[in-house]
Structure 1
Amino acid sequence: MGVVQRVKKPTTRKGKKFLEERGPKIIENTKQSLFFYGRSSSETLKRCMKDLYHLKKPDAYPLKGKHDVLPMENSTPIETSSKKYDSSLFFFGSHTKKRPNNIIIGRLHDHQILDMAEFGVENFKSLDEFEGEKFPLGMKPCLLFAGPQFELDPTLKRIKNLLVDAFQREPVSSLRLQGLEHVIMFTCHENKIHMRSYRISLKKSGSRTPRVELEEIGPSMDLSVRRTKLASDDLFNSACKKPKELKVKTVKNIKRDVFGSKLGRVHIRQQDIKKLQTRKMKGLKKTRKERASHKKPTKSQPSNKIDN
């Protein structure tokens, strides 16, 4: 027989507020990421993890020390840490002779492992190796993906979805052109994903549309796909299911144009134009002859005159 765990309800206002923040919400908070290392690491891996942590700040939490964890073999420690720190993303770095400069990027659903992808870092260049201004803290990057493999290969298509989930921030409803200052581009070529980071500069072009220039600011790396552990289609679809409160209810015969104006369509029966009530004007009144021609014949009525 299994052990039944006793669920203790909070008795203080602070405890209730803490559980409400950890509980499910209709609109989720910004996803937090955990950064930690395995039993051994290299100098290249440390600089790579440091730059990735800089990309994710302030929505990231580093775990100190070394951890005897093998995510691909046993994911229980990661699920425990995810529940403790209320995070749904993790970046794990390790370095061994068989898999040097190894990074595992994964995500969780309901504090259970959903997807994991293992990459080997090659041709790494850190942020310090590039000159010029860097992106400010908390900047929302523009994510670009190039390569037909991201759409043709099912595994790379799921990896693309994982990378979007890992590097995006809170969603926005509108965007200002001057707000685009940072671009992260992923190019897939020969089973390798080339990651590059650029700063956007808007220059005068003599027209309303500015001239766009890209300046590489780092980090720069080539990621070779080693191992993956992806969720089934049914589990992935259930994790992506939207709550009923966020679904937009369709209203018949009502739509919006490109400017956001609300347009409605009214259906009426077919009408006789001759019987339509128009504006009462002297020029539109019928003459005596027209009224006499349209007047229905009446039955002969007895005369009320009295003969003398």
Structure 2
Amino acid sequence: MATVEQTFHHHRHGYYCMLDLQPITHKGKKVLQEREPKLIENTKQSIFFHGRSTSETLRKCMKDLFQLKKPDALPLKGKHDILPMEDSSPIETSAKKFDSSLFFFGSHTKKRPNNIVIGRLYDHQILDLVEFGVENFKSLEDYPGDKIPIGTKPCLLFAGPQFELDPTLKRTKNLLVDAFQRETVSSIRLQGLEHVIMFTTHENKIFMRSYRVLLKKSGTRTPRVELVEIGPSMDLTLRRTKLASDDLFKIACKKPKELKAKKVKNISKDVFGSKLGRVHIKQQDIKRLQTRKMKGLKKTRQEKLRHKKQPRKS
């Protein structure tokens, strides 16, 4: 999904400019070029901000989620009078300003305590919004031991048949993958699997757990794997959703033609990735094929004459 461009930038850099105007400095021109659509987009950026009122639990939760997203995240200071489910235009404005396509919004009210809204944008507009209630929260600080280095790409695990059977949870799973994954990679090194984030669904809740991967000696070539919980840990109750239509979601997921692999005639791949080819040859007369000349297989004079009298096939 393409990220968004926009409006204005910081005065101190000397390139205050709007999208409708031409950049007045070389640095401003580079910034606008960086925000232009690309065949292969940059890593998606996220913004974190709070509503009118928050709780201590929610502040810690947002802080830990920000730690998981660094360095591809930006916290916005202050309190914001925003209701994402009712009016999402302020979020769209902030996302354009900071070139972000994902956001995390936290608020706390009597009706919806410890509330987190996770959303994403497409073409400057809100695509999906999912509202969660945070319960049984445990912070990173509540778990002793070493933590994961900043910027580590996590392994995302989803457990529960409802992620595939329920259309809402299926789209929510897609949103969580979009929110917590980093850059796309073609191969993974075993030692690079240091962090696992697991989401388990049951009824109307999603249980989020975070683990550190330890590779121990096993006496064989394959190491013994241990998972140590490091936090954050929380139970997410699905409250409200505002999902894009299937047609809009299909457009948002559409890949450019330049990135699609060109189909080569008569060449295909099997389930294991092996390349298979098909070669077409004309129908051949086996009797006229040149074989090894052996005395015992030599035709007699009568056979040669009989063969010459036979009409040839066209």
Report the TM-score range of the alignment, normalised by the length of the smaller protein: 0.7 to 0.9
Amino acid at match of 1:176: R
Q: CA RMSD in A?
A: 2.4
Q: Write the distance in 2 (CA, Å) between the matches of 1:13 and 1:235.
A: 36
1:237 matched residue in structure 2: 250
Q: Deviations over 1:115-161 (max 9, x none)?
A: 11111111111001101111111011011111121112111111111
1:216 aligns with 2:236: no
SS of corresponding position for 2:134: strand
SS of corresponding position for 1:156: helix
Tell me which structure has the larger Cα radius of gyration.
Answer: 1
SS of corresponding position for 2:128: strand
2:305 matched residue in structure 1: 293
Give the drift of 1:261. Answer: 5.7
In structure 1, stretches of 5+ residues that fail to align are 298-308
1:137 aligns with 2:117: no
Q: Write the distance in 1 (CA, Å) between the matches of 2:224 and 2:23.
A: 58
Q: Deviations over 1:186-238 (max 9, x none)?
A: 11112111100001112222333322211100000111111111111111111
Q: Write the distance in 2 (CA, Å) between the matches of 1:284 and 1:182.
A: 73
SS of corresponding position for 1:83: helix
Of the candidates 32, 37, 56, which is equivalent to residue 19 of structure 1? 32
Give the drift of 1:294. Answer: 5.3
Structure-2 change in CA distance of 1:65 and 1:293 (3 Å):
same
1:177 matched residue in structure 2: 190
Amino acid at match of 2:52: R
Amino acid at match of 1:98: K
2:3 matched residue in structure 1: none
Give the drift of 1:263. Answer: 3.7
Amino acid at match of 1:117: V
Structure-2 change in CA distance of 1:263 and 1:13 (3 Å):
farther
Q: Write the distance in 1 (CA, Å) between the matches of 2:80 and 2:64.
A: 20
Give the drift of 1:259. Answer: 7.5
Give the drift of 1:71. Answer: 0.9
TM-score by length of 1: 0.87
In structure 2, stretches of 5+ residues that fail to align are 1-17, 310-314
1:33 aligns with 2:36: no
Alignment of 1:114-193 (within 5 A): 114-193=127-206
Q: Write the distance in 2 (CA, Å) between the matches of 1:42 and 1:292.
A: 102
SS of corresponding position for 2:129: strand
Q: Write the distance in 2 (CA, Å) between the matches of 1:236 and 1:295.
A: 70
Structure-2 change in CA distance of 1:284 and 1:32 (3 Å):
farther
Residues matched between the structures, number = 292
Structure-2 change in CA distance of 1:290 and 1:216 (3 Å):
farther
Q: Write the distance in 1 (CA, Å) between the matches of 2:106 and 2:143.
A: 23
Give the drift of 1:286. Answer: 5.0
Of the candidates 263, 266, 269, which is equivalent to residue 250 of structure 1? 263
Of the candidates 50, 56, 63, which is equivalent to residue 63 of structure 2? 50
SS of corresponding position for 1:35: strand
Structure-2 change in CA distance of 1:6 and 1:140 (3 Å):
closer
